[in-house]
Amino acid sequence: MILPGSTIGILGGGQLGRMLAMAAAQLGYRCHIYAPESDSIAAEVSARFTCAAWHDEAALSDFARECDAVTYEFENVPVAPLAVIPATLLAPGTRALEVAQDRLSEKRFVENLGGRPAPYAPVDGGDDLRAAIERIGAPGILKTRREGYDGKGQWRLASAHEAEGLALPGEGLVYEGLVRFEAEFSVILVRARDGEVRFWDSPGNVHEGGILARSTLPAPDEVTAQVAEARKLAQAVAEALGYVGVLTLEFFATTEGPVFNEMAPRVHNSGHWTIEGALTSQFENHIRAVCGLPLGDTATLFPAIEMTNLIGDAAQEAADVLADPHAHLHFYGKSDARKGRKMGHVTRLG
Ligand code: AMP
């Protein structure tokens, strides 16, 4: 057990790190943020900050020497340099990062465990794309295998013809058939060092422009009917990876059952409602798991909960939110409200 007073290293410096650090502080831990950007909003609320590049092995090694455990808030941390950090300190392990960083390996991994992704094909050039569209059909979505998030690195293709004029990276893509879903949802679980797994209730998620807009509980009925099957897959993924911490899998609820979309080896935006809406938040349980503490109860506390992201200019609505007695406002402290940037979120409890 890593006792309160110890230092938890967090790789990544954004809002997830900020909320992890706040949960860790409540339990008496100190956090040390490692991030390449100097204006880290996680570092603002943490005891220590190393601002260095992901490939700076000397800096990573010094950072690890000062930490009793190391975790991540960002799944695209390059894996090779992490070899300088003793594997016993890392939770979850780097295998989870390797799988989740590549959409192709993620789909294959989940398929091997009995999961069903949308029909897909790897694309490493124009000929591959033509063949993929011929086999899978259009409409579909072409995605970069690596580093895409919040709808970035994605091209929606209505027809094979539309693919002709696109300026695409030469390789490292995957083409997916467009899934006709009834709703989207996520499974968020926490797995302890001793293998115990707990799930939070699954919210229904609505994305706009590829970015999560809202998570709602209770989820629509078509989601609720598919949660058990989706949980089985999520637990199998966690077990196959020997996972420790919070793990998220995103699904489409379709008339043929849950279709796997993607996984995140970390706390997740669709779990922010757990801060006020569950007995133990995803952030606290992640810290508990990483430190080998007993897990907290994940029960939902309110009959209706809605988490809304404040994106770009929407942050200006904050004053109105504070006038609502059922709303909890979270601002991440980002200085620049760029279009599409997650500035904060609001959780309404009913
Ligand atoms: P992703 O970054 O892959 O999670 O995609 C972001 C959002 O785009 C998803 O949550 C869906 O709303 C939509 N999307 C992505 N892939 C597909 C797909 N194959 N079929 C239908 N919608 C999709």
Ligand 1 pocket test: which of 141, 181, 259, 261 has the largest number of ligand atoms within 8 Å of its C-beta? 261
**φ and ψ of 84, to 5 deg:** -75, -10
Across residues 251-273, what is the average pLDDT? Answer: 98
Q: Answer whether the bond into residue 92 is a cis peptide, omega within 30°.
A: yes
Q: Residue 209 contacts by C-beta under 8 Å, 6 or more apart in sequence?
A: 151, 340
Contact 83, 97 (CB under 8 A): no
Q: Compute the distance from residue 45 Cα to the ligand 1 centre, in Å.
A: 33
Q: Which residues make Cβ contacts (< 8 Å) with residue 240, sequence separation at least 6?
A: 109, 113
CA of 210 to the centre of ligand 1 (A): 6
- pLDDT at residue 102 in the model: 97
The SS3 call for residue 93 is coil
Q: Which residues line ligand 1 (CB under 6 A)?
A: 118, 141, 151, 176, 178-179, 184, 207, 210, 250, 261-262
* Ligand 1 atom 8: residue of nearest CA: 210
Its pTM surpasses 0.95: yes
User: What is the Cα 209 distance to its own chain's centre?
Assistant: 17
Ligand 1: residue of 149, 185, 207 to mutate (most ligand atoms within 8 A of CB) is 207
pLDDT at 249 over 80: yes
Residue 257 has pLDDT above 90, yes or no: yes
**What's the pLDDT score for residue 173?**
95
pLDDT > 90: what percent of the chain?
87
In which band, very low, low, confident or very high, does the pLDDT at 74 lie, cut at 50, 70 and 90? very high
Taking the C-alpha atoms of residue 42 and residue 50, their distance in angstroms, rounded to an integer, is 11
Q: Whose CA is nearest to atom 12 of ligand 1?
A: 207
Q: Report angle CA 135, 138, 140 to the nearest 5 degrees.
A: 100
Joined together, the tokens standing for residue 23 give 């949960």
CA–CA separation, 191 and 23 (whole Å):
17
Residue 87 per-residue DSSP state: T
Write down the pLDDT at residue 239.
Answer: 98
Question: Do strands 140-144 and 120-123 pair parallel, antiparallel, or not at all (unpaired)?
Answer: unpaired
Alpha-helical segments (H) within 225-281:
227-240, 274-277
Rounded CA gap, 274 and 311, in Å?
Answer: 20
Q: Is the pLDDT of residue 192 over 80?
A: yes
Residue nearest to atom 13 of ligand 1 (CA): 210
pLDDT at 308: 96
* Amino acid in position 295: L
Q: Which run of H or E residues covers position 271?
A: none
Q: What is the mean pLDDT of residues 278-295?
A: 98
Q: How far apart are CA 234 and CA 270, in angstroms?
A: 15
> Per-residue pLDDT tens for 145-178?
998 777 778 899 998 888 887 777 778 999 999 9
CA distances from 251 to 121, 187, 199, 262 (A): 19, 8, 15, 7
Phi, psi for residue 345 in degrees, rounded to 5 = -150, 160
| Residues 235-247: tens digit of each pLDDT | 999 999 999 999 9
